[in-house]
Amino acid sequence: MTHAANDISLSTSQRTANPLSQPIPSTADFQRNQQKIAQLLAQLNQIVLDKPQAVRLALSCILAGGHLLLQDLPGMGKTTLAQGLAQLLGLSFSRVQFTNDMLPADILGMSIYDQNKQQFEFRPGPIFTQLLLADEINRSSPKTQSALLEAMEERQVTQDGQTYPLPQPFFVIATQNPLQQAGVYPLPESQLDRFLLCLSLGYPSPAAERELLKGKDRRELLKDLNTVLDTEAVLLAQHAVRQVYVADTVLDYLQRLVAKTRASQEYHGLSPRGVLSLQRAAQAHAYVSGYMEVTPEDIQAVFAAVTDHRLGQRFVPAHVTGGQATKTIAQRILAEVSVVA
């Protein structure tokens, strides 16, 4: 079972319910961006009901410059979340439905011979966009899955010895179904490590489900969304996230958590790339929450989403466990490691 975004239990409560009411070192640009972020979250929460923490983490992932993996049962709203983010952020968007007969060229593009020019010309594939939705990514073969590795890490595509840069910013939001279902291929560790966060939405509450039944179709609501942040604002926010301050005491806590992942004989601990991902995700979470400084609360909020899929935690749907909530590897580590040394 992977990280359920709305089941986070924070051990520290250093912030009020309205963080923007607190004095924070900021510029006018920061304050304007925070107002837009609050507006974006409010609109997205009207589309994806009853999942405010998942929505916040998804936006944090984008502003951290990372890729997002959504794994859950079909029909849980994964595609709706991705489409809503693309529309509200004003990003160019492509959706690719992965199938078992798909080839890497179907995603990356291919060279086609032009008889008029007497030469081969590269025809870009759907990956040449700012936000790529790789829908049901684990239904394609490992060869096709691996075609995304260079694009996700280097933001470029190499074909026939030529390198083509991807648009900036570039994100992949991938969805995958549980391994218990037929016709799926597990993502290799190298592929999983390219995703900054991994989330599962889970079933809605009865109240949210009633609103779904009585309300508009989600696809109709998506059409009504207006762009809140444009490309330039997203790039500026990504730059601001990298400036969020991380104190040495917070880094001490982060490293204690990382050391705990490496002390187990059951799984491999976090790699240096995983550690950097944890810090970047925490910075983005602090920024989205209205702060320019990371606290242990931010580390805790993103820890499971950053680490569980890297530690080999498999997603298990709630009905398989009889509806019983089971602690993930990351949640057990959080419970065992003290904030203060």
- Burial label, 151 (beta-carbon count in 10 A; 0-12, 13-18, 19+): buried
The residue ranges of every structural domain in the chain are 5-15+24-336
Which of 338, 340, 333, 337 is CA-nearest to residue 3?
333
pTM above 0.95, yes or no: no
Residue 273 DSSP SS3: helix
Domain 5-15+24-336 top-level CATH class: alpha beta
pLDDT on residue 317: 57
What CA–CA distance (Å, rounded) separates 298 from 286? 6
Element (H, E) at 135: strand 131-135
What CA–CA distance (Å, rounded) separates 53 from 241? 19
Q: What is the pLDDT along the chain (341 residues), one digit of tens a residue?
A: 454 444 433 444 444 433 443 334 456 778 888 899 999 999 999 999 899 999 999 999 999 999 999 988 888 888 899 999 999 999 999 999 998 889 999 999 988 888 888 888 889 999 999 999 999 888 888 888 888 889 999 999 988 888 999 999 999 999 988 766 666 778 888 888 999 999 998 888 899 999 989 888 888 888 888 899 989 989 989 999 999 999 999 999 999 999 999 998 888 889 999 999 999 999 999 999 999 999 999 999 999 999 999 988 776 655 554 444 567 889 999 999 999 87
Element (H, E) at 124: strand 119-124
Which of 324, 198, 178, 336 is CA-nearest to residue 263?
336
What CA–CA distance (Å, rounded) separates 41 from 47? 10
pLDDT on residue 340: 86
pLDDT on residue 182: 61
pLDDT on residue 183: 65
Going by C-beta distance under 8 Å and a sequence separation of 6 or more, which residues neighbour residue 198?
Answer: 2, 3, 68, 69, 70, 71, 192, 305, 308, 309
What CA–CA distance (Å, rounded) separates 77 from 190? 26
pLDDT on residue 197: 96
